[in-house]
Each structure stands twice: as structure tokens, then as C-alpha cells.
Amino acid sequence: MEKLKFYIDGAWVDPATPSTLGIVNPATEETFAQISLGSRLDVDRAAKAARRAFATYSVTDVKARLFWLQKIIEVFRARLPELARMMTLEMGAPITFATERQATVALFHFEEAARVLANYRFEERMGNGIVRREPIGVCGLITPWNWPLNQVASKVAPALATGCTIVLKPSEIAPLSAMMFAEIVDAAGVPAGVFNLVNGDGPTVGEAIAAHPEIDMVSFTGSTTAGVRVAKLAADTVKRVAQELGGKSANIILADADVKAAVTQGVHACYTNGGQNCQSPTRMLIPRAQRDAAFAAAREAVDTIRLGDPLDPASTMGPLVSQAQFEKVQDLIQSGVDEGATLVAGGTGRPSDVNRGYYVRPTVFGDVTPHMKIAREEIFGPVLSIMSYDTEDEAIEITNDTPFGLAGFVQSSDPDRARTVANRIRAGRVYLNGAPFDRSLPFGGYKQSGNGREFGVFGFEEYLEVKAILGY
């Protein structure tokens, strides 16, 4: 499969300088596609196209933007099975998960952006004048490989809805679903130059986007280290920077919770998307007296996981995305063993019945202490650390003892008690008792987990500037 062109100014065009990269299927370790790697010249061409398009697209009315959003939704829905299969091939998500979560949740973001747009008040009277909200301009969007279409949609949908134009760089590890999405935008008839896609790596294309003088805002999802670099590059042109970065979320199981049910739910939440999930509850905090019961429940939960070919609908966990990610997770599992944590389930190496693919054994450590590497670093694999506490205050102290603050989880039979604990967690989103995903509520982090918010009206407003008009 060769996907060597970029989508710029309403057409599929050749890169300025030929350079290719193979895309590897993580289940087979075989290269199954080729893309082009872009350069600063490609970013410049895309940014200038987006700037030209902004002059007219920014003043289109709500009715026109709703029309284009609805066309995207229609074509997206028709191609959803193809999109899901492509994500399975490029990053290893099991096909059932890729269909029901990866692709479907991405579609949700366009539906939500259309809902917000239809009812949004872009002007309101305040004091001796009018407060007006206008599109911020050309937006550079840099997205990761773990939710390759969801993160594209969570940025592109509000940007289009607000009247912005776009230069998108999807992850070069899993770019093919984003390229299919560009085909959807084209089929929907979105005006030329409004949406542009340039493939490439972070140090070249990502940095060119962050620094480009024609780009007014950069929205980045990825590691904290890369986010710091993006922010520094963006500072020279005083861009708005919205970032969703790393996480090390804690799941506090309070003493009044059903321990077996809470631990089972927590294990599966940690392993969502093979653990390659920024808000995964990778630190499980249990009352010290419940240690043995928690370990037993965790082992039972791990035994229900079906690791296998991600194209098999029966598989519930596939491989990690790459050799580099596999090796990083193996090293962190070994560090847990070396630092004296109790291995409750899993461990290093591939599962015994697997001889190819970047498969990791679903792993649970117990007796983890806050100083251990597995308790502090974002692992991005199916590795859970169970930590014990004696008091509720200690549990909250451990939870907040991290440079991250993306999400938190609380389990309790008393909703009011869970809510009180949630208020004390320094994180941008807290789930109580397994609450489901809600696309309308804001998503984003405290501390080194980023700034700005995505989803719903909060994500919509990230792409708007505020203007005061006095005397009218």
C-alpha cells in the first residue's frame, strides 16, 4: 500500500522532497504500507494554503459550517468499518475495540461539534458593548498514534466548527487512518485549503508547524517532553498552545467499595487500548487490609483477557504499537521486579504461545511504593501497580504525588464520599465508580499533563479569540 501524497489546498500532491517511511503492522512485524515524510517546505505550502482559505472560511455562517460537518459525519459513518480496520492494521487495536471505540468515538467528536455549533452564541452584550468570539486562525494540529483518529477528530471537529483552517500532522507511526479521514473531508466538499495534511516526524514536520509564523495556534497531544519542545518553539510567535500530555492516573478504591468488583473494573480500565491510553488508571490504591483480596481479584481479571490476532473479533488485547514501545515496557516491567515489587500476574517477555508481534503479557505488580519507577513513569503498556494505604488522607497524598494530573478514579459505595475525595484530586477529570465516557465534558490536565481542554463546549472555545466592541 503506497500513500505517498499529502493533502494540501484541496488536492493530493507530491512532497517537495521524496523521502519514504515504512508502516509496520505490530501484530506481524511486517511492513505493509509506505508513506512520504514531509519537510519544512511542505509545511510552508500547507500553512500558506490554510492562510488563504481562512480569509473566506472564517466568515462563513453557521449554516454553511453545519452543512460541511454533517457531510463529514455522513461519509465518516459510511466508511467507519474501513477506518476501524485500518487502525487495527497500523497500531494493533483489536477490531472490535477499533470499531466500537476507536472509530466510533472519533465520529462522536464531529457530532458533538455540530451540536455545540448549532446552539453557540458567538456574540453577547456585556457592559457598554459587545463581546464577540471569532475563529483564532490557522491551527497546527499534531496528533499521536495511540488513538490515531480520535485525537484527530477531537481537534479537527471544533476547529472546523469555529471557522478555523487546519494543518494536520498525524503520527508517522499510525498515519493511514488520518489519510483516510482526509479523503472523507475531500468527499464532503470542504473548501480547498481549509484542511491540509502533511505526514512527517516530530523533529521535522512537527517542529516546523510549531514555529511557523502563519500558524496562530498549535494543539498537541503526546509526551510531556515533546510538549515542552512544542511550547518553546511556539513562544517565538506567541501562538496559543493547547496540550494534552502524559498521565499517571490513580484509582482510589475506598474501604467501603466492593473490592473484587472495583479491582476487576480497575484492571480492565488500566488495560484499555493495551494500556496505551494517556488517562489509564495505572496506579491502583487499596486499603492495606484488602491486599490479598485485591491481588486475587486482579489475577482473576487478567485471566479473562484474550490476547491474540487483533483482526480476530474474540481478541480483547492486541500488540503494542512498535518494537520501541515493546522494549520500553519490557524494561519497566524488569525495573518493577528489580526494585522489589511483588509480581502478581504477567511479567517480562512475550506470552508463551506467541512468537511474533509486539505482544506484552498483561502484568500486575503489588506492594508497589511511591518511589519505584513503575509508580512514577508513564509506562504506556498493560502494567498495573497496586499500592496500599492506611488512611484516606494518605491515599490522596499518594495520588497527588506525581508531576502529572490528567485523570483520577474513585470507587466507593457512597457517592458523596467518592465526590469528596474527587474534589481533592489534582487532575482535570475524575471518574466515580466506573462512570462512562462523556463526549460533552471537558478533557485535559493539571500540572505537566498539559493545558487547555478538549471535547464539548470547552474544546470548542479553545479555537476562538475574544473581542470586545465598545460603544455599540
Catalytic sites, residue numbers: 244, 278
Using CA atoms, how far apart are residues 12 and 197, in angstroms rounded to an integer?
A: 9
Q: Which residues contact 448 (CB under 8 A, 6 or more apart)?
A: 224, 245, 246, 403, 404, 405
Order of strands across the sheet that contains 342-345: 342-345, 363-366, 383-389, 283-287, 250-253, 407-411, 429-432
Using CA atoms, how far apart are residues 419 and 411, in angstroms rounded to an integer?
A: 10
Using CA atoms, how far apart are residues 15 and 5, in angstroms rounded to an integer?
A: 6
Q: Cα separations (Å) of 126 from 121, 237, 416, 471, 472? A: 13, 31, 37, 11, 11
Closest CA to 332 of 285, 385, 292: 385
**Grid coordinates belonging to 395:** 491515599
End-to-end CA distance of the chain: 58
CA dihedral angle for residue 242, residue 248, residue 251, residue 252, rounded to 10 degrees: -100
Using CA atoms, how far apart are residues 190 and 185, in angstroms rounded to an integer?
A: 6
Other CB atoms within 10 Å distance of the CB of residue 38: 27
Judge whether 367 and 375 are in contact, CB under 8 Å.
no
Give how far the C-alpha of residue 432 lies from the chain's centroid of Cα atoms, to the nearest Å.
21
Using CA atoms, how far apart are residues 349 and 358, in angstroms rounded to an integer?
A: 10
